[in-house]
Amino acid sequence: MRYWTSFQRTTVNRLIYLTPYFLVIISLYLFGTLPWYLSILAIPFAMYLFVPGPIGKLLFGGQPDFVKSPLALSILHSVVFFIILHWMKMLPYIGFLYFENILFAFIAIIACSTLLMATFADPGYLRKTVDQDERRRIVLELAEMGKLDARNFCITCSIRKPLRSKHCRVCDRCVAKFDHHCPWSYNCIGVGNHRSFLIFTFGLSSGCWMFSYLAYYYFSVSAPSDTAIPASCPLSTTLCSWSTYDPPVFSLVVFALLNSIWIFYLFLFHVYQISMVNLTTNELANRHRLAYLTHPDDAHLPAFRRRKINPFNLGPWKNCLDFWFDGVVLKDVSWFNIYEIPARLDRWSK
């Protein structure tokens, strides 16, 4: 990645992290001052200037690479920050909703803490091999076993890849029980932080719904009935009066509700793959290419003709126990140093 010569990588990432905070402020201001049809055009244009446009090209020397930057993480942080800030602004009007406000505060604390855990926790990085003799030994052992290939040996980390691990191109590290690289947490999701990530997705979607619920009471209590409604507003009379009375809160509610749909779907998807199949996202996406998830008798067949197997599916109850509690179901199994399917799970080898 080639940066502008005046900036170091750390400085660039700091500037990129701060950018969404200014974008949210600009977006809320434009939504409150411009007609809706102009703000819809102006907000994406402002985002273009700061992200893939001239400012982004200036920072990255003409080669924007935001996948390796904290941009997505900062977007999430900034939106959550302004949602909590505007919730505090609404408190004098909705303070009578004791239980609902306490519940929202609890959900916000859980969502923020689990996001920090998913971001800063070790996802399961595998130690790189730096010693030349150890590297040579690993290569010779794999060559003798006929397994010196990309599925068993990582050239970048110079290690034998454990079962269910994968090298992340973004983090440039091998991760044990790799699920996926998440730009929203600016980290890989693996054996070390998958549980935090799952709780975070549920907490974030729940927080979006609770904020919208509280905002409904805020508008119902505080918005005057004689609010002047712009003639260009395409919504109902009530929604138009709310958007005119407090545009920032109204726009945050719309943004939160829209994003809660895909966030909750992401949560349900992970719940399904954990409880029903006990496979990672990477394994579901590449199941036809992974030897340990295809029948051993079909190794000579094309990938699309191989029969699919799943040695890790122990049933919904045991799958959940295996995910939430290490060593309860699969005792003495560490995804950091296991290279073959445990004998008690291998029902297909002869």
Per residue in 30-53, pLDDT (tens digit) is 777 777 666 666 667 666 666 666
Specify the long-range contacts of residues 74-79, CB closer than 8 Å, at least 24 apart: 74/16, 74/17, 74/18, 74/19, 74/20, 74/21, 75/20, 76/115, 76/184, 77/17, 77/20, 78/20, 78/21, 78/23, 78/24, 79/20, 79/24, 79/252, 79/255, 79/256
Q: What is the predicted pLDDT for the residue at 341?
A: 86
Q: What is the predicted pLDDT for the residue at 40?
A: 67
Q: Which two tokens stand for residue 105?
A: 């505060």
Q: What is the predicted pLDDT for the residue at 4?
A: 45
pLDDT reading at 7 higher than 60: no
Q: Which two tokens stand for residue 77?
A: 């942080």
Q: What is the predicted pLDDT for the residue at 64?
A: 56
Which one is predicted more confidently, 269 or 39?
269
Per residue in 55-110, pLDDT (tens digit) is 666 665 555 566 778 888 998 999 999 999 999 999 999 999 999 999 999 999 99
- The predicted model gives 270-297 an average pLDDT of 90
Rounded CA-CA distance 89/16 in Å is 28
Rounded CA-CA distance 95/101 in Å is 8
Rounded CA-CA distance 290/152 in Å is 11
Q: Are 273 and 284 in contact (CB under 8 A)?
A: yes
Pairing of strands 173-175, 166-168: antiparallel
Assign 191 to helix, strand or coil: coil
Catalytic residues: 182
**pTM (2 decimals)?**
0.88
Q: What is the predicted pLDDT for the residue at 52?
A: 64
